[in-house]
Amino acid sequence: MPRFRAWFCRLLGLVRKQSRESEMNAEIQQHLDALTERNIAAGMSPKEARNAAARDFGGVEQIKEVAREQRVWKWADEFLQDLRFGARMLVRSPGFSILAILCLTLGIGTNAAALSWIEGILIRPYPLVAHQDRMFALNATIRGTEGYKGLSYPDLLDFQKNSTLFESFIVDKITGTTLSSGDRAERAVGGMVSANYFDALGVRPILGRGFRPEEGTGRNAHPVTVISYMTWKNRYKSDPDIIGKTQFMNGVQHTIIGVAPEKFHGTFIGYSFNFWVPTSMQETFDNTGYKLEDRGARWIEGYAFLKPGVTRQQGQAELSAIAKRLENDYPETDRGHEISLLPLWKTPFNAAGGISTTLGITAAVVFFVLLIACANVSNLLLARSLLRRHEMTMRLALGAGRRRLIKQLFTEGLLLSLIAALGGIAVAYWSRNALVLAFPPSVPGITIDYPGSMDWRVLLLSIAICIGSTMLFALMPAVQASHVDLSGALKSEGAGVIGGHGRSRLRSTLVLVQISLSFVLLAGTGLLLQSLQRMQNTSPGFLTNNVIVSVVDLFSAGYKLDRAKIFHTQLLDRVRALPGVESAALTRVMPFSYNPPSSAPIEIDRYQPAPDEQPNADYVQVSEDYFSTLGIPLVAGREFTRNDDEDSPRVAIINETMAAKYWQGKDPLGQRLKVKDTWMQIVGVAKNVYYETKLEAPRSFFYVPVRQNFFVGNTLLIRTRETPGAITNALSREVHALDPTLAPYAADRLQEQVDQRGYTQRLAATLLAIFGGMALFLAAIGLYGVMSYSVSQSTRELGVRMALGAGVRDVLRLVMSRGLRLTIAGVVVGAAAALLLTRLMGNLLYKVSPRDPIAFGAALIILIAVALLACFLPARRATRVDPVRALRI
Amino acid sequence: MAKEKPDLVYGTLDMLILKALQHEPRHGLAIADRIQQISQDVLRVEQGSLYPALYRLEAQGWLKAEWGVSDNNRKARYYRLTAAGRKQLAAEKEHWSRITAGINRVLAST
């Protein structure tokens, strides 16, 4: 309490400085008067009495000064004084101030922008959703294995029923449908959500309502939907009477009961949802069957909200205990199944995981930019402190303490970074979504929404960065400046001699740091660009440019299996007859798609698995001509034909890895393979290709004929030299002829699909390129500043050399070699640091060693080129020194 | 920084001021007089050094000052001990007697 009081009194003293001063004067005067009076009473003359009183009292002015220090909040007083003085100094040298503030604005602004973006994704990824601090992703795994497995609906209900520490559990399973408008169909992304979804998230529809509890139950009993704001606006032209109207989705008329608020995109990082339906409609939206009563069907993705005050550990303990009980009660379905709570940014079932490395790189890179900016400002301050040496010397000579001097210089620095921080935050605020614009476009038809949010965390961090960077850039010059050697400085004043050796060494060190940081960024960018290049150049093993992909979504249109089979057969015939089409095929899952291929345990004739081995392979259902359409060579056997249908023996084509693994050199043709109780004869061996990403390792994979394993939904692959636009038009006509209510998706080259899977890499490369360029620019300014400063400082030396006969060439060489030495030292340090740091990018690099010589070499060449330019300009100025004038100085 | 007169033990001025105000509020001169009087002229306070100390104690919240009228009808600033000040005085007295007891023991040893 007394401490606070003292603080308050002093603060008051600060504000009421004027009245306090006069009060003190009056009090002391009164004291002196009383003493004088007493002396007169003792018999002195008035004059004697006054003198004696003053003698007894002591030096009035000194005492007042000491007293002032006691009563006023001295530190704040000095601070205000320094601030005023600092502001005056900034205004006096506007060039310096503007440059320094710009550098810092750039540094702090990029950090604030990147932070707001990172913070948005890490902590509050979902706009408008309340209590995201208590929201956790439910991570379902199997003991001893990796990867997300999904929750079953009955399990989820049990967790909900038996837990006490949770406010709510929500289901949010990504799904989709096709909404057609005219002769084009569009993919709409939606969520199958539990009935409590909107209530738990605290999201209130702007029109209509969210789901009612009873709408979550009953098999396909509640065809109701809440649509997104964008869907309402674009598809329904903001119809104010939309509630109660219907929307045909997956063959069922759904009643629109609500419109979500504009900013709400759902709870799936990377995707913006168009509609939501209750989980009771699962069977309608999932082409693999009814699962709501199947404890073994693991398909649910979801979140849990902890009650306020409950820690993640407590919640986790309770869930684990329930999971243990479920294991005991339902061993055949739940044995080994575990559940854990993950923070939202580690959500295992959306794009959160793929982006975390990129976030880390972004954070590191913007921090580097800030460091480089700080080094620049430090250099500027050092240069200016030399100009102010006279002032500093004067202050020291007049008795200012070094601490006081450092404090003053520090305050000036703080003023700079405060202005820059305000500018930076403003820039970050206006550009917080611009960072996203710089990103390469993602999956077409799906909006990406990475919210950049400025909240107290970002502001607090920005202020911390501001103060931290002041420490970085202002402290060293301030300490340096306060170490003026009084006698030396006074003596040399006016002689124009170069600044202290220590100072130029400090400046060189700063430039060295800048160059090495730039080198790290450049080398990192080089590595990412190169792996991007390699990834682009690596063939996936099939044709991508002349193959066009499209989908006719029969599942969403409500087709049943038989009708779909007829439709697809007829469509395939019509497409093959189109002019310019070389071949066409169907596949259930196209290569490199978001949907994974099927996966199943397998059994192989005459292959004895090891005791703990369960042979497993991925497979996909394809039609005849699949291999010729995609240009995948068969190393043995034949391709599927139209005759491989339900009436003929089951067949399969395996890949080389599978042949090598299970037949070990023997000919697999004619041998048998069992999947899901069906034996299939192997009729061909295909070359290995990449199936999902170019990052995957070779694995066992096989193909089965689509006609023996039909699904309603299939993707159409067309090999042609026509453009996607032309194919889309032709395809629309053919689809329309078969069923006037249907339309195909806009056709796209398979290449686009392949490119999308390298999205994270492209994102990281883009970010590094942007910030690497910024860093390089700042470092070049720094180098230029130091070189031109040292040239201006050694005018005399250069003059002497030229007077003694040194030519332009000699002077150039002298100056340039100094700059280059600095650059090379910086590159050496930077290369060492880069070797350590680039290893952390391991999983973003593709077929590129983290110490790739080309990336490092390119960084070296770029840096040297920039350094040469930065040194050349001051060096040329040096050659223009007039020896006579230089010597006269 | 404030420096006390050498004939006053360093650091004791605050305590003496608090003590002088124990029973009634006084103005600056009266405090100096009081200290001199009780100590029977052993301790002489340099009048001026009183004020920095008074402001410091006031800022700490141990004293409260208000304008009043002195015996000879002059305006004067009176300092009054606050509750916190009383506590502080007790603490300082305690501290002082411990120190002096210690010093005495050292001096008394042979």
Buried b (16+ CB within 10 A) or exposed e, A760-771: bbbbbbbbbbbb
The residues near A328 (Cβ < 8 Å, ≥ 6 apart) are: none
Q: How far apart are CA A205 and CA A203, in angstroms?
A: 7
* Residue A440 pLDDT > 60: no
Q: How far apart are CA A210 and CA A199, in angstroms?
A: 7
Q: What is the pLDDT of residues A590-633, one digit of tens each?
A: 888 767 777 777 888 888 887 777 787 889 999 999 999 999 99
Q: How far is CA A883 from the centre of its chain?
A: 56
A362 shares its domain with A310: no
CATH architecture of B13-108: Orthogonal Bundle (1.10)
Q: How far apart are CA A457 and CA A345, in angstroms?
A: 17
pLDDT for residue A462? 76
Chain A residues with CB-CB distance to B56 below 8 A:
70-71
Q: How far is A15 from chain B (nearest CA, A)?
A: 15
| Interface A-B: count of C-beta contacts within 8 A | 81
Please report whether residue A868 resides in a domain.
yes
* Residue A16 pLDDT > 60: no
Please report whether residue A315 resides in a domain.
yes
A317 shares its domain with A395: no
pLDDT for residue A169? 95
Please report whether residue A494 resides in a domain.
yes
A602 shares its domain with A743: yes
Tell me the range of A4-13, A513-522, A611-620 where mean pLDDT is highest: A513-522
A679 shares its domain with A658: yes
Domain boundary among A738, A756, A774: A756
Among B29, B56, B58, the residue with its CB nearest the CB of A35 is: B29
Among chain B residues, CA nearest to A72: B59
pLDDT for residue A499? 38
Query: Which one has a higher pLDDT value, A306 or A365?
Result: A306
Name residue, tokens 């003023």. A415
By CB atoms closer than 10 A (0-12, 13-18, 19+), residue A876 is middle
Per-residue tokens: A50: 């006054």
Q: How far is B93 from chain A (nearest CA, A)?
A: 19
Q: What is the pLDDT of residues A232-263, one digit of tens each?
A: 998 889 999 999 998 888 878 899 999 999 88
Query: Which one has a higher pLDDT value, A73 or B86?
Result: B86
Q: How far apart are CA A596 and CA A716, in angstroms?
A: 17
Q: State percent of chain A over pLDDT 90.
A: 24
Name residue, tokens 């899901």. A676
Among chain B residues, CA nearest to A37: B72
A698 shares its domain with A603: yes
Element (H, E) at A155: helix A153-162
Name residue, tokens 């061996």. A685
pLDDT for residue A180? 67
* Residue A497 pLDDT > 50: no
A443 shares its domain with A555: no
Which whole number is the average pLDDT over A431-453?
A: 57
Which whole number is the average pLDDT over A207-212?
A: 94
Which whole number is the average pLDDT over A269-289?
A: 85
Q: How far apart are CA A336 and CA A432, in angstroms?
A: 45
pLDDT for residue A880? 78
Instruction: Name which of A19-28, A220-229, A664-673 the model is least confident about.
Output: A19-28
CA R_g for chain A: 37
Q: What is the pLDDT of residues B8-60, one digit of tens each?
A: 666 788 888 898 888 888 888 888 888 888 888 777 777 778 888 888 888 77
Question: What Å distances lie between residue A822 and A199, A381, A509, A711, CA to CA?
Answer: 62, 20, 9, 67
Please report whether residue A350 resides in a domain.
no
Q: How far apart are CA A178 and CA A840, in angstroms?
A: 41
A682 shares its domain with A819: no
Q: How far apart are CA B18 and CA A619, in angstroms?
A: 91
Domain boundary among A756, A774, A803: A756
Please report whether residue A95 resides in a domain.
no
* Extents of the domains making up chain B: 13-108
Q: How far is A33 from chain B (nearest CA, A)?
A: 10
**Interface touch A27/B84, C-beta < 8 Å:** no
Specify the amino acid at residue A138: L
Chain A residues with CB-CB distance to B66 below 8 A:
none
Helices (H), A538-585: 561-577
| A438: confidence class by pLDDT, cuts 50, 70, 90 | low
SS3 A58: coil
Q: How far apart are CA A819 and CA A765, in angstroms?
A: 30
Residues of A within an 8 Å Cβ radius of B: 1-2, 5-6, 9-10, 13, 23-24, 26-28, 30-31, 33-35, 37, 56-60, 62-64, 66-67, 69-71
Q: What is the pLDDT of residues A879-889, one digit of tens each?
A: 777 777 766 65
* Residue A588 pLDDT > 50: yes
Please report whether residue A114 resides in a domain.
no
A576 shares its domain with A654: yes
Q: Are A855 and A528 in contact (CB under 8 A)?
A: no
Among B56, B77, B84, the residue with its CB nearest the CB of A70 is: B56
Q: How far is CA A138 from the centre of its chain?
A: 23
* Residue A651 pLDDT > 50: yes
* Residue A370 structural domain: 355-536+760-888
pLDDT for residue A597? 79
What total of structural domains would you count in chain A?
4
pLDDT for residue B63? 87
SS3 A538: coil
A361 shares its domain with A502: yes
Q: State percent of chain A over pLDDT 70.
A: 88
The residues near A832 (Cβ < 8 Å, ≥ 6 apart) are: none
Chain B residues with CB-CB distance to A67 below 8 A:
51-52, 55
Which whole number is the average pLDDT over B84-89?
A: 89
Q: Tell me the residue length of chain B.
A: 110
pLDDT for residue B50? 84
Largest CA distance in chain B: 57
**Interface touch B55/A70, C-beta < 8 Å:** yes
Averaged pLDDT of chain A: 82
The residues near A192 (Cβ < 8 Å, ≥ 6 apart) are: A171, A172, A173, A175, A276, A277, A278, A279, A281, A282, A285, A286
The residues near A574 (Cβ < 8 Å, ≥ 6 apart) are: A734, A737, A738
Q: Are A702 and A650 in contact (CB under 8 A)?
A: no
* Residue A339 pLDDT > 70: yes
Smallest CA-to-CA distance from A70 within B57, B76, B98 is with: B57
Please report whether residue A105 resides in a domain.
no
Specify the amino acid at residue A24: M
Chain B residues with CB-CB distance to A69 below 8 A:
1, 52
| A432: confidence class by pLDDT, cuts 50, 70, 90 | low
Q: What is the pLDDT of residues A453-467, one digit of tens each?
A: 666 777 787 778 777
pLDDT for residue A284? 87
Domain boundary among A51, A72, A93: A72
* Residue A3 pLDDT > 60: no
Among B49, B59, B60, the residue with its CB nearest the CB of A63 is: B49
Q: Are A822 and A511 in contact (CB under 8 A)?
A: yes
Which whole number is the average pLDDT over A784-794?
A: 74
Q: What is the pLDDT of residues A110-125, one digit of tens each?
A: 888 888 777 777 777 7
pLDDT for residue A243? 94
Would you tell me how many other CB atoms lie within 10 Å of the CB of residue A167? 15
Instruction: Name which of A35-39, A156-160, A427-431, A553-557 the model is least confident about.
Output: A427-431
| A496: confidence class by pLDDT, cuts 50, 70, 90 | very low
pLDDT for residue A392? 77
SS3 B91: helix
Among B28, B46, B84, the residue with its CB nearest the CB of A2 is: B84
| CA neighbours closer than 13 Å in the CB half-sphere of residue A330 | 13
Among chain A residues, CA nearest to B2: A66
A165 shares its domain with A295: yes
DSSP conformational letter for A814: H
Chain A neighbours among B 35-74 (CB < 8 Å)? 46-49, 51-53, 55-56, 58-62, 70, 72, 74
CA R_g for chain B: 15
Percent of chain A as helix, strand, coil, to the nearest 5: 55, 15, 30
* Residue A828 pLDDT > 70: yes
Query: Which one has a higher pLDDT value, A454 or A856?
Result: A856
Which whole number is the average pLDDT over A747-771?
A: 77
* Residue B6 pLDDT > 90: no
A823 shares its domain with A732: no
**Interface touch A9/B62, C-beta < 8 Å:** no
| A419: confidence class by pLDDT, cuts 50, 70, 90 | confident
Query: Which one has a higher pLDDT value, A20 or A369?
Result: A369
pLDDT for residue A446? 44
A748 shares its domain with A691: yes
Query: ipTM of this predicted complex?
Result: 0.83
pLDDT for residue A629? 94
* Residue A874 pLDDT > 50: yes
Instruction: Name which of A364-368, A475-479, A748-752 the model is least confident about.
Output: A475-479
